Amino acid sequence: MEGNEKADDLAKSGAEKEQEDNAVSLAELNTITKALFRTPAQKDSLHLLTRPEQVTIFRLRTGHNRLNKHLHSKLKVVPSPMCPCGEAEQDTHHILQDCGNFQLLRRKMWPEPTPIQDKLYGTAASLQMTTTFLNWTGLHV
Assigned domain for 118 exists: yes
Measured in whole angstroms, the distance separating CA 91 from the mean position of its chain's CA atoms is: 20
What is the per-residue pLDDT across 45-85, written as a single tens digit (0 to 9) for each?
A: 999 999 999 999 999 999 999 999 999 999 999 999 999 99
Assigned domain for 67 exists: yes
Assigned domain for 111 exists: yes
Query: 95 or 10: which carries more pLDDT confidence?
Result: 95
Judge residue 140's burial from the number of C-beta atoms within 10 Å of its C-beta, 0-12 exposed, 13-18 middle, 19 or more buried.
Answer: exposed
Residue 126 structural domain: 46-137
Mean pLDDT of 3-30: 83
Kindly tell me the sign of the dihedral angle through the C-alpha atoms of 53, 88, 69, 117: negative
Assigned domain for 112 exists: yes
Give the confidence band of 1 by pLDDT, cuts at 50, 70, 90. Answer: low
Assigned domain for 4 exists: no
Assigned domain for 130 exists: yes
Structural domain count, the chain: 1
Assigned domain for 29 exists: no
